[in-house]
């Protein structure tokens, strides 16, 4: 009988303690709910005001000029820049409201994590702004190179401008990610290796393609001490008078009046006869 009495007293005591604790926390719960409702209304009101203010100012038109709207369209974002900033303000204020409500409830861990997130948002915002500005600069440089090469009649201008654009975009992206606090050292090192390999391959290809041209340039430099305009020469069965000399070749005019272009390298490597004048 005593055991039943003890169990009953223990249960009644537990329920009483729970009731007292629950009733003690009710004001905090109602206070947190009130903070959430009032904060949500204020966040909606302020974000709407910010959006309407930006719409009244020529903010969206400025975004169109710097091609921010075009960039957002490529990313499948259909909202206007003013609406995006309004949303950003809305969620920032909601985070502040959640932090205040969790602090009212005594949830220190939640408050600390939300505070860390709010502290990270300016860093993320700067990274996004830097990426947008960097994209605009890269686009401007691409269009500038494309226009300049087109006016000069360079056929590879489009390829060159796109190569420069993508190179700048890689730099802008890596810098933005680094600004956002992400470790980009591995990506940077791998990209530098790839970029170095591409440059090395291009250098080797260019060297092999220009080997004969360089041979003629060097031969043309040394042949100027031996050959001059007006000389009668014979090289590999071609006879004629030298009428022109440039960095890579010699032009001779034969007896029938035809002009023959002889690479300078042949004057050095082949047996060449200089006729007496």
CA distance 179 to 168: 16
CB 157 within 8 A of CB 108: no
Banded pLDDT at 9 (limits 50, 70, 90): low
* pLDDT, position 111: 73
123-209 adopts what CATH topology? Helix Hairpins (1.10.287)
Assigned token pair, 158: 């489009």
CA pair distance 168, 165, nearest whole angstrom: 5
Contacting residues for 204 by C-beta, under 8 A, at least 6 apart: none
Q: Cα separation of 27 and 232, whole Å? A: 113
- 123-209 against 222-275: fold identical: no
Residue 154 predicted with pLDDT over 80: no
Cβ-Cβ contacts under 8 Å for 127 (sequence gap 6 or more): 176, 177, 179, 180
Alpha helix locations (H) across the chain? 2-56, 59-65, 68-74, 81-105, 108-151, 157-179, 185-209, 211-223, 264-269
Question: CA-to-CA distance for 95 and 125, rounded, in angstroms?
Answer: 16
Q: Closest by alpha carbon to 163, among 190, 137, 141, 132? A: 141
pTM, full prediction? 0.51
Taking the domain 222-275, which CATH number applies?
A: 2.30.30.60
pLDDT, one tens digit per residue, over 17-37 is 555 555 555 667 777 788 788
∠ at Cα 217 (214, 223), nearest 5°? 140
- For 110-146, the pLDDT digits (tens) are 778 777 777 777 788 788 778 877 877 888 888 888 8
Delimit the domains of the chain by residue range.
Answer: 1-106, 123-209, 222-275
Q: In this predicted structure, what is the pLDDT of residue 38?
A: 85
């Amino acid at each position: 009988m005593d055991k039943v009495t003890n169990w009953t007293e223990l249960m009644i005591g537990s329920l009483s303690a729970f009731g007292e604790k629950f009733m003690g926390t009710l004001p905090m719960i109602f206070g947190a709910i009130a903070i959430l409702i009032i904060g949500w209304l204020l966040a909606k009101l302020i974000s709407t005001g910010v959006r309407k203010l930006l719409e009244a100012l020529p903010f969206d038109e400025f975004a169109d000029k710097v091609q921010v709207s075009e960039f957002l369209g490529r990313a499948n974002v259909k909202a206007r820049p003013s609406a995006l900033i309004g949303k950003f303000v809305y969620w920032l204020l909601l985070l502040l409201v959640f932090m205040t409500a969790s602090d009212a409830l005594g949830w220190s861990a939640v408050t600390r994590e939300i505070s860390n997130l709010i502290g990270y948002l300016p860093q993320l915002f700067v990274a996004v702004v830097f990426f947008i500005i960097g994209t605009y600069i890269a686009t401007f440089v691409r269009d500038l190179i494309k226009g300049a090469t087109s006016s000069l009649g360079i056929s590879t201008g489009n390829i060159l401008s796109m190569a420069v654009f993508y190179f700048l975009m890689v730099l802008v992206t890596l810098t933005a990610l680094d600004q956002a606090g992400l470790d980009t050292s591995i990506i940077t090192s791998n990209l530098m290796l790839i970029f170095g390999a591409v440059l090395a391959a291009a250098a080797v290809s260019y060297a092999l393609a220009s080997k004969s041209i360089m041979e003629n340039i060097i031969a043309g430099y040394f042949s100027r001490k031996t050959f001059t305009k007006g000389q009668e020469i014979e090289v590999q069965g071609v006879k004629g008078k030298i009428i022109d000399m440039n960095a890579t070749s010699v032009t001779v005019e034969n007896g029938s009046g035809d002009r023959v272009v002889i690479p300078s390298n042949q004057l050095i490597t082949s047996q060449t006869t200089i006729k007496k004048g």
